[in-house]
Chain A
Amino acid sequence: MDLDDTDLEFRHEIRAWLSENVPTGLSSMDTADGFEQHREWERTLAKARLSAVSWPAEHGGRGASLTEWLVFEEEYWAAGAPGRVAQNGIFLLAPTLYAHGTEEQQARLLPRMARADDIWAQAWSEPEAGSDLAAIRSRGVRTDGGWLLSGQKTWSSRAAFADRGFGLFRTEPEAERHRGLTYFLFDLRAPGVTVRPIPQLDGEAGFAEIFLDEVFVPDHDVLGEPGAGWRVAMSTAGNERGLSLRSPGRFCAAADRLLALWREVGDPSDTALRNKVLDAWMGARAYRLHVLGSLDRPVGAEASVTKLFWSQLDLALHETALELLGPAAELAGPWLDGYLFALAGPIYAGTNEIQRNVVAERVLGLPR
């Protein structure tokens, strides 16, 4: 694609570095050993200031532009580099810290995040509050110099081995659903915290339940104003659905691998399967061009448009690959891993049913 010279220079630098450094054979990040191997990889990235390229230098980044960040992502996934164990922090919490955190919080938390000294888990969902996040019941009660958190969170990605968590707690029980919530950062190893890993479809403990019993959180770990947690959290949810987590690079790399697989094993007379390969390739390309075309627009309800698209695209890419593999698709392998991950796409970050409502109501203006 037509990028300018600095973008191209950046691309070459990243490509060269990745070709020398990308590790192979890491265990699943959802095992104790694998988690630490992935943490090491994050530290290797951080030493080259590539763990969070778009952050300013004082926080461990290199001040990359949005376009350079997209280039980095394309190269990262094309190089076959591993999924990011630090992504909850870097892609979900960090944008919120930049938008709502104090300078003190940014200076204290971001460099540790960039170096993977703290790996973060998100603690959004609760047993009675999934896509209906405003229904959360876990509470925070004022105490000397801070708050005491109690309650239960569930489906917290990476929580089994992570260091810290971020989530919403009800601090004004009488207030309406969306009001009276506060955004807290807390230690997963603090007294009063119990983490119970939940094996996922693939058998690994990718997420966990978190039980909190009067867990102390100092005032400086409240993100944004007490009581304003909903607004703060929604900016994070927008990032999860929108650009920051689902950069097109991952899908473009998968589409290229799918095409390669078709060339290797595809039956040219099987036009039905050929069409699925083409649809997946077109989808990845469409998504990339869509993202490049919307860089100058703020991410709002449109994040729901992309969430619907990439979650379905990710599934289609992997389903098609499994179909191409035929009976061998049953065996463990990268396509199967990717497929199991993709199956969750239409569920997490707000189910696709909720996203369709958001698109219909907030983009198309249909009544609630």
Chain B
Amino acid sequence: MKFTLSDEQRQFAQALRDALRQSTSWDTLLALGVHEVESVPDLVVAFLELGRAAVPGPVVESFAVLREPSSTLAWPPHVPYIVDDADHVYAIVHDTRYRAILEDARSSVDPARQLHEYRLGEAVGPIDGQAFDRGVLACSAQLVGLGRALLARTRDYALQRKQFGKAIGSFQAVKHHLADVHVALELAEPLVFGAAVTMTASDVSAAKIAAGTAAYQAMRTALQVHGAIGYTAEFELSRWLLKVRALVTAWGTESFHRERLMAALCG
């Protein structure tokens, strides 16, 4: 297996990155054809960029799991509430897709995520066998993208912010934290791409664990290096910080995926 992106994939990623810098609206995603992405490796390419730009909305649920841009869902227990809202709302229970009716709103740690309680409507039919793992992998790629954005922003801040007469990025303690984050992200990403090719339970779960861990490390380091300014709501770092926190437990907690990974490896 040779994991190098094709020219088309690189161009797609670059086009998404450029467009999302201007606007993170869903019109941008639709204009670039994110809803038409078929292969899981291509989904990973797209979701790295969606994460990097901290695109709001039920992106995993619509584009990766249901593959209908006007839909969202809950998938208890891993996605316990309906994520945001859309024309079509479903709940997946025992691999069956039900219509769902929105009830009370619940607030997420990420203010950009609107969660809703729901009650089940009529059954619509089965959900395809890879849908859950597509959700896990899209979420994993989003986490790596979020981590990359956090690292880049933190690096820029460390270059610009001065203390004791020097840029804080010249201090070894800061450098070493950022180097460790870089290493964690560099080695999490291949697991995500590898799982996208094999789609085995062990690879998919390993990808989520590694992506979640690396993104969380990026998030903690970003906040620490930014200091108090990073803790303020008006500073936009929080868009990335809090989305990481929300996604670390979405689409399977770390302990769920560790159970699943061990079961796959040891039968």
**A 349-368 to B, binary, CB cutoff 8 A, 1 in contact else 0:** 00001011101110111111
Partner of B209, one of A262, A282, A287, A367: A282
Residues of A within 8 A of B178 (CB): 360, 364, 366
A193 contacts chain B at the CB level, 8 A cutoff:
no
A308 contacts chain B at the CB level, 8 A cutoff:
yes
A309 contacts chain B at the CB level, 8 A cutoff:
yes
Q: In the complex, A52→B261 CA distance in Å?
A: 37
Q: Is the CB of B265 within 8 A of A356?
A: no
Pick the most buried of B172, B179, B182, B197: most chain A CB atoms within 10 A of its CB. B179
Q: In the complex, A365→B179 CA distance in Å?
A: 11
Q: Is the CB of B179 within 8 A of A367?
A: no
Q: Is the CB of A305 within 8 A of B169?
A: no
What is the size category of the interface that chain B forms with chain A?
Answer: 35 or more
Distance in Å from the Cβ of B166 to the closest Cβ of chain A?
8
Residues of A within 8 A of B262 (CB): 274, 278
Residues of A within 8 A of B (CB): 1-3, 67, 259, 262-263, 271, 274-275, 278, 281-283, 285-287, 289-290, 292-293, 295-296, 305, 308-309, 353, 355-357, 359-361, 363-368
Q: Is the CB of B155 within 8 A of A293?
A: no
Distance in Å from the Cβ of A243 to the closest Cβ of chain B?
14
**B 183-198 to A, binary, CB cutoff 8 A, 1 in contact else 0:** 1001110110110010
Q: Chain B interface mostly helix, strand, loop or mixed?
A: helix
Q: Is the CB of B170 within 8 A of A368?
A: yes
Q: Is the CB of B180 within 8 A of A292?
A: no
- Contacts A285-B194, A289-B3, A293-B3 given: A366-B175 contact, CB under 8 Å? yes
Q: Is the CB of B266 within 8 A of A282?
A: no
Pick the most buried of B170, B190, B255, B258: most chain A CB atoms within 10 A of its CB. B190
Q: Is the CB of B191 within 8 A of A289?
A: yes
Residues of A within 8 A of B203 (CB): 285
- Contacts A278-B262, A292-B2, A364-B182 given: A286-B209 contact, CB under 8 Å? no
Given contacts A259-B266, A353-B176, A364-B151, 15 further A-B contacts (CB under 8 A): A2-B1, A2-B197, A271-B255, A282-B261, A285-B194, A286-B210, A289-B1, A289-B190, A293-B4, A293-B190, A353-B172, A356-B179, A357-B172, A360-B178, A360-B179
Q: Name which residue of chain B comes closest to A260, CB basis.
A: B266
Distance in Å from the Cβ of A127 to the closest Cβ of chain B?
24
Q: In the complex, A281→B202 CA distance in Å?
A: 11
Distance in Å from the Cβ of A301 to the closest Cβ of chain B?
11
Q: In the complex, A295→B174 CA distance in Å?
A: 30
B158 contacts chain A at the CB level, 8 A cutoff:
yes
B167 contacts chain A at the CB level, 8 A cutoff:
yes
Distance in Å from the Cβ of A275 to the closest Cβ of chain B?
6
Partner of B179, one of A3, A282, A283, A364: A364
Q: In the complex, A366→B178 CA distance in Å?
A: 10
Distance in Å from the Cβ of A302 to the closest Cβ of chain B?
8
B159 contacts chain A at the CB level, 8 A cutoff:
yes
Residues of A within 8 A of B115 (CB): none
In the complex, the 4 A-B pairs of residues with the closest C-beta atoms, listed nearest first:
A360-B175, A293-B3, A289-B190, A359-B179
Q: Is the CB of B191 within 8 A of A356?
A: no
**B 149-172 to A, binary, CB cutoff 8 A, 1 in contact else 0:** 001000100110000001101101
Residues of B within 8 A of A363 (CB): 179, 182
B44 contacts chain A at the CB level, 8 A cutoff:
no
Q: Name which residue of chain A comes closest to B191, CB basis.
A: A286
Q: In the complex, A359→B169 CA distance in Å?
A: 12
Q: Name which residue of chain B comes closest to A293, CB basis.
A: B3
Residues of A within 8 A of B4 (CB): 293, 295-296
